């Protein structure tokens, strides 16, 4: 596996692993906890060194899973987790945002215990909290860095001005947002800001929540609890309208003896050397496939063709429901 460097010299595998789906959002997990530990350890064996989790995934159980799986290889991997939600004890539901400094400190200590580690490698604010100035957030994380509990500070789904304000207080190592061939929101403002400031970018849902792999179409039925049932982009009509882009990616993949998902990831990797996608999966074969994207070379003509097709076809449907859209781009 090739490596890439995010901001502040943080080196990770060129393709990471998003762990959320092992605990939530995509319906019942067909595998057991032991199976998921096996997937995580198999990823390490195949050169993946960058793992993404959060306290809210589950809540809590995803951090526990990642902590148990990676404890034997802790010195070989980079673990990212997140703070910023108000999770009510008892019902386990996220009910709003909370990035007060005292909450950040509390979450850090709890995450360290669940992850079975002494230091969080990358600590993201999961969503920008409008009630807490981001300068206070950056300062609180900076104190955790000074205390040795955190190595690097990150932001998720933040707008360019917010990134600048945070970075002025404490260096931001990485920004995480949704980015793929059919989600181009970061391009006008966020990516240029990161390039200027020397901050890495970590696209989540780099495969369009599965759509860009070619395994989801208008006829797909989602299981109970699958987050895609609430996402406008995944309505049957919108899946039909969006299919043309996937068909084009699939055709190119066949010509290159690759998979559609590998081409979608290779497109991302070609955008900037400091971009590190974190596709999620619950299967070892997908880990292998996604890691292989780092070996898929796209020519300048192929990249331009993908951009032209994506621009011509566009994308139908929002990437989140109305409530969740209110949390992004602040």
State residue 72's pLDDT score.
98
User: How many angstroms separate the CA atoms of 116 and 138, rounded?
Assistant: 24
State residue 90's pLDDT score.
63
State residue 159's pLDDT score.
98
User: How many angstroms separate the CA atoms of 176 and 125, rounded?
Assistant: 10
State residue 225's pLDDT score.
87
Q: What are phi and psi of 247, to 5 degrees?
A: -60, -40
Q: Which residues are tagged catalytic?
A: 57
User: How many angstroms separate the CA atoms of 189 and 107, rounded?
Assistant: 30
> Among the CATH numbers 3.40.109.10, 3.40.50.300, 3.20.20.10, 3.20.20.100, which is that of 3-207+272-294?
3.20.20.100
State residue 41's pLDDT score.
98
Kindly report whether the global pTM for this prediction surpasses the value 0.75.
Answer: yes
Greatest Cα pair distance in the chain: 55
Residue with tokens 């403002």: 189
| pLDDT averaged per 10 residues in sequence order, the chain, 330 residues | 96 98 90 96 98 96 98 98 89 83 98 98 98 98 98 98 98 98 96 98 97 94 91 95 95 98 98 98 97 97 97 92 88
Sketch the domain layout of the chain as residue ranges.
3-207+272-294
Q: Tokens representing 203?
A: 């696209």
**Rg of the chain over CA atoms, in angstroms?**
19
């Amino acid at each position: 596996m090739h490596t890439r460097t995010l901001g502040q010299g943080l080196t990770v595998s060129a393709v990471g692993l998003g762990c959320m789906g092992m605990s939530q959002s995509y319906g019942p997990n067909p595998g057991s906890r032991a199976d998921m530990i096996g997937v995580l350890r198999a990823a390490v064996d195949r050169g993946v060194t960058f793992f993404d989790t959060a306290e809210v995934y589950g809540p809590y159980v995803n951090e526990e899973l990642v902590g148990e799986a990676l404890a034997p290889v802790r010195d070989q991997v980079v673990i990212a987790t997140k703070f910023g939600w108000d999770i009510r004890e008892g019902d386990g539901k996220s009910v709003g945002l909370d990035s007060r400094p005292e909450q950040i400190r509390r979450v850090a200590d709890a995450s360290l215990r669940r992850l079975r580690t002494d230091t969080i490698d990358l600590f993201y604010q999961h969503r920008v909290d409008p009630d807490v100035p981001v300068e206070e957030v950056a300062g609180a994380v900076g104190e955790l860095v000074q205390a040795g509990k955190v190595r690097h500070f990150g932001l998720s789904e933040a707008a360019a001005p917010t990134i600048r304000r945070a970075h002025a207080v404490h260096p931001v190592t990485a920004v995480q947002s949704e980015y793929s061939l059919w989600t181009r929101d970061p391009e006008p403002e966020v990516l240029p800001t990161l390039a200027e400031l020397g901050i890495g970018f970590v696209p989540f849902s780099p495969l369009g929540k599965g759509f860009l792999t070619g395994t989801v179409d208008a006829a797909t039925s989602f299981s109970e609890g699958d987050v895609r049932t609430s996402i406008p982009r995944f309505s049957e009509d919108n899946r039909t309208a969006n299919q043309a882009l996937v068909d084009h990616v699939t055709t190119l993949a066949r010509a290159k003896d690759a998979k559609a998902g590998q081409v979608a990831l290779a497109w991302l990797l070609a955008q900037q050397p400091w971009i590190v996608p974190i596709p999620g999966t619950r299967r070892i074969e997908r880990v292998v496939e996604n890691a292989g994207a780092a070996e898929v070379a796209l020519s300048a003509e192929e990249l331009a063709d993908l951009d032209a097709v994506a621009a011509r076809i566009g994308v139908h449907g929002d990437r989140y429901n109305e409530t969740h859209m209110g949390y992004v781009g602040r």
